[in-house]
Structure 1
Amino acid sequence: MSILDRLTGQDRPSPANAEFIAVLADEASAALLRQFVLEGMVSHAHVLVGGVRDLIGLLGQVERPPRQLVVDVSGSTMSNTELAELAAVCPPGVAVVVVGERNDVGTYRELLRMGVDDYLVKPLTMDLLRRVLNRRTGRSVPAQQIRTGKVVACVGSRGGVGTSTLVANLGWQLAGPLERRVAAIDLDPFGGALDLMLSAPNNHGLADLLANVNQLDPNFVERSFAQAAPRLFLLAARAELDQSGVLPPRAVLTLLAELRKLFHYVFLDLPARGGELTAALLADADTVAVVSEPSVVATRETLRLIQLAETRDDRVPLMLLVNHPRQPGHAELKLADFEEAVGRRASHVLPFDRDAAGLGENLGPPLISRRGPLALALRRVADDLAGRRSAEGGRRLLPDWLPLPGLAPARGG
């Protein structure tokens, strides 16, 4: 086996650990990229002949996202459509260079608008590759700031309303059928249940990362997560009940800045009473999901949470989810009275489903993978976040935030 084969990944059938992947439409361009890889000593590289859809298939095989993608759209009659499909599976923070045949400013500007790092016009030359790609890492010199993933802060009006259930199920759906790369972070170190709901080990990874937050690198971050399912990763910590200072807000915010580069979605499972930490994360999140129930106490606390989330300078999408975690009774408020009291309509209403909820919480996998009214309602919430559903019944739904590779949208975009 030659050194060129080892460098370009030709000795293995899939680029499972590749950090640099290039898919070119013709053998001559692919050969030039292989020469570039050899000359620049780019390790963990994979170069092959193909198109955008071939690259999409390869990304479904990777164990962790590559740092750099080069993709050729030459000859494609639907290049923008194919790149949009690539965006759906391309993790945020991945630098993307597009190769094509059209040499005009309009094409270049359109690709930059969509989030591509750079655009190269054929015929490729070694000098052009050297100028655009970093010889040591295979990364491009970004033409614009790389866009990042979305942080979704989920907080309950009181304990037991189903916040952890929501995080576990949305993460499962977005990582599975919708093929997004998802991180779920349990921010209750004194009794969080996400590890049980996802049947994943609690390896104290969150505590390790926060203790070394000024020395983060992607490999260290990846190793700190427990994998709950393909593309779904859990971060949690189990602290002693009398321990203090477990989750410093500033350190958590620093960690989130790094995670935005690695995941499409970062779900935060916030405790019902998080104090300074909850306030800081609601202020930093890209979407806020408030989970409540139609009771008097929950109504009062829901109003307080909404007011807290709306104190930030910039407006962010706020989802209000009304859950029925218990059998409905006469003591409950009517939905219309609840909505009038909090001053907004519910984005989604989750029906009571005793059997499904019990199975999902205690036996796994999450109930969203099953049948029933609650599973269906949760899938609608996931579709809402992914921009896959149109407005129904006057409910305000969130727009799709995923544009093109590189390619996740800028925060707030």
Structure 2
Amino acid sequence: MSAVDYEIRRPDDLAGSAMDEGAHPSDLETLRPLPRISVHAFCESPEVQRVMERLAADRRMAKVGMRVTGGSVSAAANMFSAAPTPNLIIIETHAGPEDILPELGPLAEVCDPNTRVIVIGLYNDIALYRELIRNGVSEYLVSPVGMPELLTSIAAIFVDPDAEPLGRSIAFIGAKGGVGSSTIAHNCAFGISTLFSSETILADLDLPYGTANIDFDQDPAQGIAEAVFAPDRLDEVFLDRLLTKCSQHLSLLAAPSLLDRAYDFESGAFLPVMEVLQRSAPVSVLDVPHLWSDWTRSILADVDEVVITAVPDLANLRNTKNMLDALKKLRPNDRPPHLVLNQVGMPKRPEIAPDDFFEPLEIEPLAVIPFDVQMFGNAANSGRMIFEVDPKSSIAETFSQISHVVTGRVAAKKQKKGGLESVLSILRKRK
């Protein structure tokens, strides 16, 4: 086969590539992002080429420069006889067990000493595997190979096994302005820190209008603006000086909530902040404003979990559907975002019934939160969370459930129809 390069499309260009059959997002959750390396894959089959495209689209590959070529081992040897080899070469071969090592010989002669090689072959042969490893091949995988298996193999080569684990990042965003996404993010951050005694950082990314400082009754002199506008100074020590302590285990990276400047950011402006947050605490909760820009898309593509908050009306249904579709393309190898339906049962407001809201989205809700203006109003006006105002309430229990799910401590409970009807029946009695 002649060497033919295939264009590697980034996540926002992929038209909904599906996850490998049989794979599960939990297979990838514990993997750290790969370092800045170069990878060149040579594929002899369309199936392996598709796996490489999915691999390149994964958010853990964001720093990796990857190129895919349709060609054999001989095509790789010819190419690198006149060019330096990358950090990693991935080779697909259809040769028999006795022919693989001789086929790799010309490639070995032109490889740089530090280049690693992964071979994808057709034969499940332990003797062949041992022979390849003895001869300097880093890994041998048997077709059909899945994207998670391949990504795990690359991580095993290039990620330090003794590196400190990265914290979990959770982004909350509203399907529309005013749906209560920030309130849910703040209560969940407080719940995670309180329920699990886990160090948690809440980052308010709505720099001009953020409300986290009000909700926690804080007035910090500095916060996230200093971090995002001075990325060269940003490290764990500098971040610690910017944090405000809200409770024993919860720290706030507050927004300035000032209009003294324009807050226009490039795509990767917040990525250094996210990296330091993940190194600094087991859990980071990101309160993302209702925007669709380069930098919000980058954040939503990069975090471990996304929670969308919506209220039951037509505009929210449309926006939620659009966001789910867009995030499926941005995050092709991750779980779908979680959905919280908020302010259900507001008096005198025409609403879409919860079942009718979820049906076209083809998604089970993470939680359905009833409209309770008195409880949420009292909490907001006193600078306290629902857990502090009424820890035994059903809404506090709902925030506890959300906190368990987004931190991976328990699977989401399937929302029963009867449960939705009981919520609505309680609300009807209040009218």
- Tell me whether 1:379 sits opposite 2:400 in the alignment: yes
Q: Which residue does the alignment assign to 1:266?
A: 284
Aligned counterpart, 2:413: 392
Q: Identify the residue that residue 87 of structure 2 maps to in structure 1.
A: none
Pairs aligned (count): 255
| Equivalent of 2:193 in 175, 181, 185 | 175
Check conservation: 1:186, 1:236, Cα contact below 8 A: yes
Higher mean displacement: 244-253 or 183-192? 244-253
**CA deviation profile, 1:148-206 (whole Å, cap 9, x unmatched):** 01111100011111111111111111112311111111111111111111112243321
CA contact (8 A) 1:210 1:247 kept: no
CA 1:211/1:273 → structure 2, altered by over 3 Å: closer, same or farther?
A: closer
Pairing 1:359–2:373 present: no
Cα deviation code 1:29-74 (max 9, x no counterpart): xxxxxxxxxxxxxxxxxxxxxxxxxxxxxxxxxxxxxxxxxxxxxx
User: Counterparts of 2:212 and 2:412 in 1: how far apart (Å)?
Assistant: 30
* CA contact 1:239–1:246 (8 Å) conserved in 2: no
> Between Structure 1 and Structure 2, whose CA radius of gyration is higher?
2
Could you tell me which amino acid in structure 2 is paired with residue 379 of structure 1? S
Structure 2, unaligned runs of 5 or more: 1-159, 417-431
Q: State the partner residue of 1:314.
A: 333
Which of residues 280, 285, 296 is equivalent to 2:298? 280
Superposition TM-score, scaled by structure 2 size:
0.55
How far off is 1:389 after superposition? 4.0
**What is the percentage of aligned positions where both structures have the same residue?**
24
CA–CA distance in structure 1, aligned partners of residues 225 and 290 of structure 2: 20
Q: Distance in 1 between matches of 2:376 and 2:336?
A: 27
Cα offset, 1:257, TM superposition:
0.8
For 2:251 and 2:264, the matched residues in 1 are separated by: 21
Bigger share in helix: 2
Say which SS state the counterpart of residue 201 (structure 1) adopts: coil
Q: Measure, in 1, the Cα distance between the counterparts of 2:411 and 2:363.
A: 19
**RMSD over aligned Cα atoms:** 2.3
Pairing of 1:175-324 with structure 2 (within 5 A): 175-238=193-256, 240-241=258-259, 243-312=261-330, 313-324=332-343
2:369 aligned partner: 350
C-alpha distance in structure 2 between counterparts of 1:172 and 1:392, whole Å? 21
Matching residue's letter, 1:377: T
Q: Which runs of 5+ in 1 are unaligned?
A: 1-141, 396-413
Q: Secondary structure at the match of 1:338?
A: helix
Greater shift after overlay, 242-251 or 261-270?
Answer: 242-251
Does the residue aligned with 1:357 lie in a helix, a strand or coil?
Answer: helix
Counterpart of 2:184 (choices 166, 169, 176) is 166
**Per the alignment, in what secondary structure is the counterpart of residue 159 of structure 1?**
coil
Paired residue secondary structure (1:332): coil
Q: 1:189 to 1:234 in 2, by over 3 A?
A: same
Distance 1:330 1:189, change over 3 A: closer
TM-score norm. by structure 1 comes to 0.58
SS class of match (1:311): helix
Q: 2-side partners of 1:246 and 1:240: how far apart?
A: 14
Partner amino acid for 1:290? I
Cα gap change, 1:247 to 1:267, in 2 (>3 Å) = farther
Structure 1 residue matching 2:269: 3-state secondary structure = helix
Q: 1:152 aligns with which of 159, 170, 185?
A: 170
1:317 to 1:198, Cα distance in 2 relative to 1, 3 A = farther
Determine if contact 1:153/1:282 at 8 Å carries over to the other structure.
yes
The residue identity in structure 1 corresponding to 2:369 is L
Q: C-alpha separation between the residues in 2 aligned to 1:273 and 1:217?
A: 27
Letter in 1 for 2:400: R
1:327 is matched with which residue: 335, 338, 346?
346
- Cα distance, 1:383–1:357 mapped onto 2, change above 3 Å: same
**Separation in 1 of the partners of 2:345 and 2:304?**
30
3-state SS in 2 of match to 1:222: helix
- CA displacement at 1:238 relative to structure 2: 2.1
Provide, for residues 70-127 of structure 1, a one-character-per-residue CA deviation record: whole Å limited to 9, x for no partner.
xxxxxxxxxxxxxxxxxxxxxxxxxxxxxxxxxxxxxxxxxxxxxxxxxxxxxxxxxx
Q: 1:198 to 1:325 in 2, by over 3 A?
A: farther
C-alpha deviations, 1:282-313, integer Å up to 9, x for none? Answer: 11111000000111111111111112211124
The amino acid across from 1:252 in the alignment is F
